[in-house]
Chains A and B, each alone.
Chain A
Amino acid sequence: MFAAIFKSRKERGLREAGWGWTLFAGSIGLIYFFPVLWIIMTAFKTRADALATPPVFLFTPTFENFVSVFLRLSQTGQEAVSTGMGLYFFNSVFVAASGVLLALVIGTLAAYGFSRYPLKGNDTYLFVILTTRMLPPIIVIIPIFLMFRLTGLSGSYIGVILLYAAFNLPFSIWMMKSFFDELSIDVEDAARLDGSSDRGVFFRICLPQLKAGLAATAVFALILTWNEFLFALLLTGTETRTVPVAMARTIGGELGVDWGLLAAIITLFLIPVFAVTYLLQNHLLRGVTFGTIKK
């Protein structure tokens, strides 16, 4: 299993590098991680600190950027009005969750089919499915854009959710198939001999063994959707806009970019990503290669 990556040589019987190596790898890791760290620091800076030359590393943290992500002063300067960012965060969560749920249900069934009841030309189907995922999204988006405009789905939740379900489907199928392929068929055969129906085998034998796999696939797909930009840019309206699009619009106005505010949006946007990366550590390899590489 992939978890072996996280078990280093020593745990498997070889060289110990010790604290010296921690220092070395740690400094390189910190340099590598610095861009993220800097953004998080910027999010806690006041406007003056954020734009200071030379850059300040020590400062008194402020939460005003986080407040102004959601609230800003109205034109009259008195009452606080919503910036709409709350809605965009809700949209991101809602659209990603619905799209992924749909893709996961359909994808798991299909993966089980591809794994246990191979069709004629099984590999061709799987190849076509993977190809639809590997395509530059810009190719797919042109006709979908026209199609959505004709059917009036453009800018609606249903349109975006359907699109994200389709976007996640190839990923779910390949991931879940790689998990199903790893299960021992003997258990299923034994259950069949004991009189279990096909449905029983799927629901009571296979799925319970794949709880972790299902969770990994779901969470991975959630992050991919959460991060998605191009589809959202072209197919969401003012009401259904997601956070990445809102961020890109904030940066779009060249002159008056409020970096502290932008950094705060990103920091909030990244919290689920950090959580997920931590949760998924043993499935990262499989996830980033769409289930094509398992170990």
Chain B
Amino acid sequence: MNKPIIPLDGESAGLSPTRHEDKQLENSTPIRGKSMRDFWHWMFSPERRGAMLVAPALIMLFLMNIFPLMWSFGLSFFHYKASSMRPPRFAGFYYYEKVLSDPVVWERLQTTALIVSLSVLLQMVIGFSMALLFEKKFPFRRELLMLVLTPMMLSFVAVGVFFKLFYEPTFGILSQGYAYFFGEPLTLLATKWGAIWAIVVADAWMWSPFVMLLVLAGLVSVPDYLYEAAAVDRASWWRRFKTVTFPYVKGLLLLALLFRTIETFKIFDVVYLITAGGPGTSTETIAVYVYKIAFQFFKTSQSSALSYILLFVVIVLTNLYLYFVNRRNEEV
């Protein structure tokens, strides 16, 4: 009787469900198409843009990195050998206790620490000196720089093979040079310290250019007027280095130190190829050790437990690295 003046049922507003469906029937669009389109709109709506852009990457990383890591985390609490068909049995913290109380693990960690500290130290010294060398302007500077930077682009395998050939006792060029001066052949890889130095030299040769690159970036960022001021003040070379140059380099030097520590900590390929951990086990780094217990003895649980201890170390170091990266970015 009393019809409302303003239609409240939405019919005239064009929102009627019946009318909508009629239209769809006319166009013979299936319902599924509509829900697909809704899903499409939902997915690409502007507020979901960030999530949608990163989703494929996160899914991929989850499948290929995070999930496997979680799996091996689980495995580390079970008795399990990848080489046997026996189903896993729950072991609790057994393997963590076993790994942490195992003197062999500590020995391998010490070997790794020794190689890392020697190699990183050598890289810092050589890298820094070469950066000072290349800071100046001279003809063919760019070409020579490319020559020196090449080693860090090489593959670990190639470097391993190079040095294996140089260290070869009878016809390796290094051994021959040694024999020429000292009269006796150099059997570097037969002794513990010789083998350690063999690895350290190969690794330092490969990665000193990395340190050089970072230091050089710091050196060229020193403003010229500071050098001019130092010249006016007749500051000594050492004083100029300490008060003008070094402050610009130290941030990058620290980053290089951390980055190389993280990377050298993982050292595997070079050791695997040059000494394979020998003589005995004297150059077996922690990565080589994990490889051996995981893929030669198939002690899957034990290697997983050890992996998680390494994971923890790397997370701490990476955090530290990013902390300094961010601090530097704020300064620049």
Contact = CB atoms under 8 A, between A and B. Distances in A.
A262 B157 CA distance: 11
B130 to A, nearest CB: 7
Contact of A139 (B75, B135, B214, B311): B311
A293 B304 CA distance: 32
Contact of A285 (B217, B300, B322): B217
Interface of B is mostly: helix
Chain B: number of interface residues, binned into ranges: 35 or more
Q: Which of A127, A143, A223 has the most CB of B within 10 A?
A: A143
B49 interface: yes
B57 A109 contact: yes
Nearest to A18: B138
A94 interface: no
Interface string B143-171: 01111111111111110111111100011
A113 B144 contact: no
Given A22-B140, A138-B290, A269 B155 contact: yes
A166 B69 CA distance: 14
Interface string A100-123: 000000110110111011110000
A248 interface: yes
Contacts of A125: 54, 58
A5 B217 contact: yes
Contacts of B57: 106-107, 109-110, 129, 169, 173
A52 B171 contact: yes
B173 A136 contact: no
Given A36-B162, A106-B60, A234-B295, A227 B69 contact: no
B135 A266 contact: no
B176 A229 contact: no
Contacts of B50: 113-114, 116-119
B239 interface: no
Contacts, number: 303
A130 to B, nearest CB: 6
Nearest to B288: A138
A158 B330 CA distance: 42
A54 B180 contact: yes
Interface stretch (B18-26, B29-37, B258-266): B258-266
B158 A295 contact: no
A87 to B, nearest CB: 18
B179 to A, nearest CB: 8
A111 B317 CA distance: 24
B139 A14 contact: no
A218 to B, nearest CB: 15
Contact of A162 (B46, B64, B291, B328): B64
Interface in B215-237: 216-217, 220-221, 224, 227
A183 interface: no
Which of B161, B176, B308 has the most chain A CB atoms inside 10 A of its CB? B161
Most buried by B among A38, A119, A145, A293: A293
A229 B54 contact: no
Nearest to B216: A5
B133 interface: yes
B136 A15 contact: yes
Given A35-B163, A147-B68, A166-B64, A51 B171 contact: yes
B158 A277 contact: no
Contact of A170 (B49, B61, B319): B61
Contacts of A114: 50, 53-54
A205 interface: no
A36 B166 CA distance: 11
A39 interface: yes
B248 to A, nearest CB: 12
A32 B130 CA distance: 10
A37 to B, nearest CB: 10
A227 B266 CA distance: 16
B53 A113 contact: yes
A129 B64 CA distance: 12
23 contacts: A12-B224, A16-B138, A17-B136, A26-B144, A39-B158, A42-B165, A106-B57, A110-B53, A128-B66, A130-B318, A134-B317, A136-B290, A137-B266, A140-B65, A142-B304, A144-B68, A149-B82, A169-B60, A248-B272, A274-B150, A276-B153, A289-B259, A292-B255
What 4 A-B pairs are tightest by C-beta distance, nearest first? A113-B53, A117-B50, A10-B137, A227-B155
Given A7-B220, A140-B68, A166-B60, 14 more contacts: A9-B135, A10-B137, A17-B136, A19-B138, A32-B148, A113-B50, A132-B66, A139-B308, A142-B300, A145-B82, A147-B71, A166-B63, A273-B153, A285-B217
Interface of B: 46, 49-54, 56-58, 60-61, 63-66, 68-69, 71-72, 75, 82, 130, 133-142, 144-158, 160-166, 170-171, 173, 176, 180, 205, 210, 213-214, 216-217, 220-221, 224, 227, 252, 255, 259, 262, 265-266, 268-269, 272-273, 287, 290-291, 294-295, 300, 303-304, 307-308, 310-311, 314-315, 317-319, 321-322, 325, 328, 332
Interface of A: 2, 4-19, 21-22, 24-26, 28-30, 32-33, 35-36, 38-39, 42, 50-55, 106-107, 109-110, 112-114, 116-119, 125, 127-132, 134-140, 142-147, 149, 162-163, 165-166, 169-170, 173, 198, 223, 226-230, 234, 244, 247-248, 251, 259, 262-263, 266, 269-270, 273-274, 276-278, 281, 284-285, 288-289, 292-293, 295
